[in-house]
Amino acid sequence: MPLHHYHKRQRAIEAVAEVEGMSDAQVQAAVLQPVNRFKRILDKTVYFTGALSIVMAIPQVLQIYLNQSAAGVSFITWFTFMINAVIWTTYGIVHKEKPILMMYISYFIIDVFIVIGILMYT
């Protein structure tokens, strides 16, 4: 943030704090409360959609192994998904992002089952 914006923001915080009888930290917490609430909701949504995406791939695994056929299932597509999961997992490790790690490790496991099933049953 440019220095002049920082000072302008700081003066506004101090002015609100003076009028409301609050500390600067209390004013900042009140200002950031909607942002933090949105972030918590977004975090929960990411966990839910990640889990849902994994669940949606399970029928593909079941179709391959129960029917012992991988007809109509693209090896290149699922192998590429598997490589993508490795890259995203690495990103999650480097950036210490738990939702990304959980989701893409799960994707990797499902993708491995599908790729192995394709190799076994084509």
Identify the structural domains of the chain with CATH numbers, from first to last. Answer: 3-121 (1.20.1280.290)
Query: pTM for this one?
Result: 0.66
pLDDT, one tens digit per residue, over 99-114 is 889 889 999 999 999 9
Phi-psi category of residue 54: left, alpha or beta, with phi > 0 → left and psi -120 to 50 → alpha: alpha
Q: Residues 75-93: pLDDT tens digits?
A: 999 999 999 999 999 999 9
